[in-house]
Amino acid sequence: MSFCIAIDGPAAAGKGTISKAVAKHFGFAHLDTGLLYRATGAKTFEGLTPIEAAESLVAADLDRDDLRSGDAGQAASRVAAVPEVRAALVDFQQAFARREGGAVLDGRDIGTVICPDAEVKLYVIASDEVRAQRRHKELVEKGEDITLEDVLEDLRERDERDAARATAPLKPAEDATVIDTTEMGIEEAVAKVIALIEARRA
Ligand code: DC
């Protein structure tokens, strides 16, 4: 039996952490779809066009250790605005969403485009400042030398581009439940989401 949980939202709102915890709780597979775009963006650093990069993507590309950098995030957001790049990545994501045993996918367009019939749709948000603090901490722990102001600017620039693009823009599905993690600890958010999913599965 398939069961798809779609978790969308802007950068660093907490959707990755929530997705992993929810997948673990229910024993579902998890796909961080941002990694597909980050890996595509990273391949353009080596001279491929965005379309060539997306069409030649293989599983090993997702294991690169530079995918979490700020540069890879910006490159991901740029290639993600190219309709042919998005088209090249659809089949893989849709097959993942409908795999046996249940799946959690997090991204920007899961509830709107990839899995519009998902059993559960969430849209995770948090204030710009809180998102920037979380992402800054993460990057500094990885050894990046970056200021909080630069992280905030980077997130806002990326969100604006992701929300303004013509194809599959960042936006909540009409039937998504909005989870605001600004004031909530991540544990509280995870507990709330698990309760919501359990109610839908009953
Ligand atoms: O979730 P993330 O920050 O790793 O995503 C990186 C970029 O990839 C994001 O700025 C926009 C793009 N993306 C997208 O367009 N659609 C998705 N489903 C996931 C990510």
The reply to whether ligand 1 has any atom less than 6 angstroms from the CB of 8 is no
pLDDT attached to residue 180: 96
Rounded to the nearest whole angstrom, what is the distance from the C-alpha of residue 202 to the centroid of ligand 1? 32
Nearest to 149 by CA among 70, 55, 45: 70
User: Considering the entire predicted model, what is its pTM?
Assistant: 0.96
pLDDT tens track for 23-57: 999 999 999 999 999 999 999 999 999 999 999 99
DSSP 3-state percent helix, strand, coil across the chain (nearest 5): 55, 10, 35
Nearest to 40 by CA among 10, 94, 96, 80: 80
- Name the band, by pLDDT with cuts 50, 70 and 90, for residue 84: very high
Rounded to the nearest whole angstrom, what is the distance from the C-alpha of residue 37 to the centroid of ligand 1? 6
Mean pLDDT of 65-94: 96
Nearest C-alpha to atom 1 of ligand 1 is from which residue? 34
Residue 137 has pLDDT above 90, yes or no: yes
The reply to whether ligand 1 has any atom less than 6 angstroms from the CB of 80 is yes
The reply to whether ligand 1 has any atom less than 6 angstroms from the CB of 31 is no
The reply to whether ligand 1 has any atom less than 6 angstroms from the CB of 162 is yes
pLDDT tens track for 145-157: 999 999 999 999 9
CATH assignment of the domain containing 179: 3.40.50.300
Mean pLDDT of 115-141: 96
Rounded to the nearest whole angstrom, what is the distance from the C-alpha of residue 132 to the centroid of ligand 1? 16
Bridge partners (DSSP) listed for residue 4:
103
Domain encompassing residue 81: 4-201
The total domain count for the chain is 1
Nearest C-alpha to atom 3 of ligand 1 is from which residue? 11
